A = this chain, B = another copy of it.
């Protein structure tokens, strides 16, 4: 009975945390970080400021949690390996950005010099991507001389700018198309011809991955 109560409490804590995260993401998305007041966030969540401080310590802590939620929203959907896995990360990301306010707010927050001082979200993405590029190299998918670390660093920046450009031009509607074009430009230069012929960076694949269908 005591154990059951503890479990129930833990479950409720997880839910409270998620509710706050989602409310904060929505408010950051609408008003920007500076314009997002604690009062507005807790009102949106239907919770108290006390709950917010208990779970996240501060508005900055909340912003960091929103940024860190980016990867969790994408990785579990993917089963592919090597270069295709890296491509899939960007495909799912480009689709989910249109639908997931937590992902959207996380992305916007990571450009903010005040919050993302140490460029942690960028460096996390870079390290994740470099891992799949190292795997691609081991699988013989990369051209001679293609450097996983250098490519990862470039892809993180390229996705960032592609997102900003797409947001300004189309409210991100053409982002999946632009991500496909990014790979059209990049793949011939980094992958072996055999691997390049196999890679699918189509917007259609991204949609299938997001819907949970198998696309490997």
Interface size on A, residues (CB 8 A): 37
How far apart are A195's CB and chain B's nearest CB, in angstroms? 13
Interchain CB contact under 8 A, B184 and A186:
no
A178 within 8 Å of B (CB atoms) = yes
User: Looking across the interface, which residue of chain B has its beta carbon closest to that of A34?
Assistant: B34
How far apart are A132's CB and chain B's nearest CB, in angstroms? 16
A18 within 8 Å of B (CB atoms) = no
Interchain CB contact under 8 A, A151 and B185:
yes
A56 within 8 Å of B (CB atoms) = no
Question: Which of A59-67, A88-96, A155-163 participates in binding chain B?
Answer: A155-163
Query: 8 A-B residue contacts at CB 8 Å?
Result: A111-B168, A119-B168, A153-B181, A154-B182, A157-B161, A157-B178, A160-B160, A188-B189
Interchain CB contact under 8 A, B160 and A165:
yes
Interchain CB contact under 8 A, B143 and A188:
yes
- Counted per complex, copies of this chain come to 2
Q: Of B123, B156, B161, B190, which is within 8 A of A160 by CB? A: B161
Interchain CB contact under 8 A, A162 and B157:
yes
A-to-B contact residues, CB < 8 Å: 111, 113, 116-119, 122-123, 143, 150-151, 153-154, 156-169, 178, 181-182, 184-190
Main secondary structure of the interface of A (DSSP, over half): helix
Interchain CB contact under 8 A, B160 and A164:
yes
B-side contacts of A153, CB under 8 Å: 165, 178, 181
Interchain CB contact under 8 A, A119 and B185:
no
Report the separation of the CA atoms of residues A166 and B116 in the bound assembly, to the nearest whole angstrom.
13
User: Looking across the interface, which residue of chain B has its beta carbon closest to that of A190?
Assistant: B185
B-side contacts of A157, CB under 8 Å: 158, 161-166, 178, 182
User: Looking across the interface, which residue of chain B has its beta carbon closest to that of A180?
Assistant: B150
Report the separation of the CA atoms of residues A206 and B169 in the bound assembly, to the nearest whole angstrom.
30
